[in-house]
Amino acid sequence: MDYRKKYLEFFASKGHAILPSASLIPENDPTTLFTGSGMQPMVPFLLGQKHALGTRLADAQKCFRSGDIEEVGDNRHTTFFEMLGNWSLGDYFKQEQISWMWEFLTSEIGLDPENLYFTCFRGNEELGIPRDTEAAGLWQKLFAEKSIDAQIVDFPERDGLQGGRIFYYSEKKNWWSRSGVPGNMPVGEPGGPDTEMFYDFGADRKLHENSDWAAEVCHVNCDCGRFVEIGNNVFMQYVKTEQGFEQLPQKNVDFGGGLERMAAAANNNPDVFTTDLFKQLRESIESLSGKTYGDRAEETFAFRVV
Ligand SMILES: [Zn+2]
């Protein structure tokens, strides 16, 4: 199944103009050598510049992240990947984005809702930024429509899952701005909460029984590999002013999700290298090396690095 095509057709059906991937070498942007996210070429438009194709945009952006190079070799990290993205430039907001994402994940690519988990922003009382109860409530309602009683849980990083499906994390995990956490933002800078989407490859994988993870509590943001983040919905909702955080007059949505990881979730196989995207490369290395992908751990590692 072609998930890239499915995603773009789905958002075209919701009134989005489909853009080609921007160049992997950024244009008019000296800050990085390579495009590292779907959002990067969209920044001028998220900051208010009008886009010729309107206020609803979507694409599949080729990305390169050299920062992940040391992680390559496990089942989910690559340096080059494709990021599926959709944007609302002062058009729709949380209600539409969350219900469309749910529809795409559960109906279009057929993920079992039982395997889905979400995180939301827990708020910052000192700075007067409220907890994102709207996003959490929208996910909870969608679970309820599938007869799943989704509990909303606070501070999961200390205490594990606690039977929850929707979790409030701090600004370190669920806040977006160009300068990081709200306290670091200069006056005039936009930012907002985000809600991340995770796929559960199963507690039966027993990843915490090996020595590396035995002492750690498992939660959705845990790096053990049970949960994989498949996308992040950023809601550009606030602007920092001299008086504090105020609502932006033009609120934007910025979604980015890894195509390879979504395909792995749809296959219910946590190894992104087993997806069709890597089939030709896998087969070429097999014929050149005489080895078989997946036979031996150190060879599998080498295949992934190549
Ligand atoms: Zn874990």
Do 112 and 169 fall within a single domain? yes
Q: Distance, CA 135 to ligand 1 centroid (Å)?
A: 24
**DSSP states along 78-139:** -SEEEEEEEEEESS--HHHHHHHHHHIIIIIS---GGGEEEEEE--BTTTTBPP-HHHHHHH
Q: What one-letter code names the amino acid at 250?
A: Q
Do 264 and 212 fall within a single domain? yes
- Which structural domain range is residue 304 located in? 275-306
**257 beta partners:** 84
Do 251 and 296 fall within a single domain? no
Q: Distance, CA 230 to ligand 1 centroid (Å)?
A: 16
Chain segment 273-305, per-residue pLDDT in tens: 999 999 999 999 999 999 999 999 999 999 999
Q: Distance, CA 112 to ligand 1 centroid (Å)?
A: 20
Q: Distance, CA 89 to ligand 1 centroid (Å)?
A: 36
Do 117 and 229 fall within a single domain? yes
pLDDT for 157 equals 77
Buried b (16+ CB within 10 A) or exposed e, 157-178: eeebbeebbbbbbebebbbbbe
Count: domains in the chain: 2
Listed as ranges, residues in the chain with pLDDT below 70 are 1
Q: Distance, CA 121 to ligand 1 centroid (Å)?
A: 21
Do 119 and 267 fall within a single domain? yes
Name the 3-class secondary structure at 38: coil
CA distance 306 to 302: 6
Q: Distance, CA 227 to ligand 1 centroid (Å)?
A: 7
Do 296 and 266 fall within a single domain? no
Residues 106/146, Cβ–Cβ less than 8 Å: yes
Do 266 and 306 fall within a single domain? no
pLDDT for 1 equals 59
Q: Distance, CA 197 to ligand 1 centroid (Å)?
A: 16
Q: Distance, CA 241 to ligand 1 centroid (Å)?
A: 39
Q: Which residues surround ligand 1, an ion (CB under 5 A)?
A: 218, 222, 224, 226
Q: Distance, CA 132 to ligand 1 centroid (Å)?
A: 25
Q: Distance, CA 105 to ligand 1 centroid (Å)?
A: 23
Do 183 and 303 fall within a single domain? no
Do 268 and 279 fall within a single domain? no
Q: Distance, CA 78 to ligand 1 centroid (Å)?
A: 20
Q: Distance, CA 214 to ligand 1 centroid (Å)?
A: 9
- Token couple for 170: 């701090």
- H-helix or E-strand spanning residue 86: strand 80-89
The domain that contains 27 carries what CATH number? 3.30.930.10
Q: Distance, CA 208 to ligand 1 centroid (Å)?
A: 6
The whole-angstrom distance between residue 134's C-alpha and the CA centroid of its chain comes to 19
Q: Distance, CA 62 to ligand 1 centroid (Å)?
A: 29
Q: Distance, CA 150 to ligand 1 centroid (Å)?
A: 20
Do 159 and 252 fall within a single domain? yes
Do 211 and 304 fall within a single domain? no
Residues 261/274, Cβ–Cβ less than 8 Å: no
Do 168 and 91 fall within a single domain? yes
Chain segment 212-228, per-residue pLDDT in tens: 888 888 899 998 889 99
Q: Distance, CA 219 to ligand 1 centroid (Å)?
A: 6
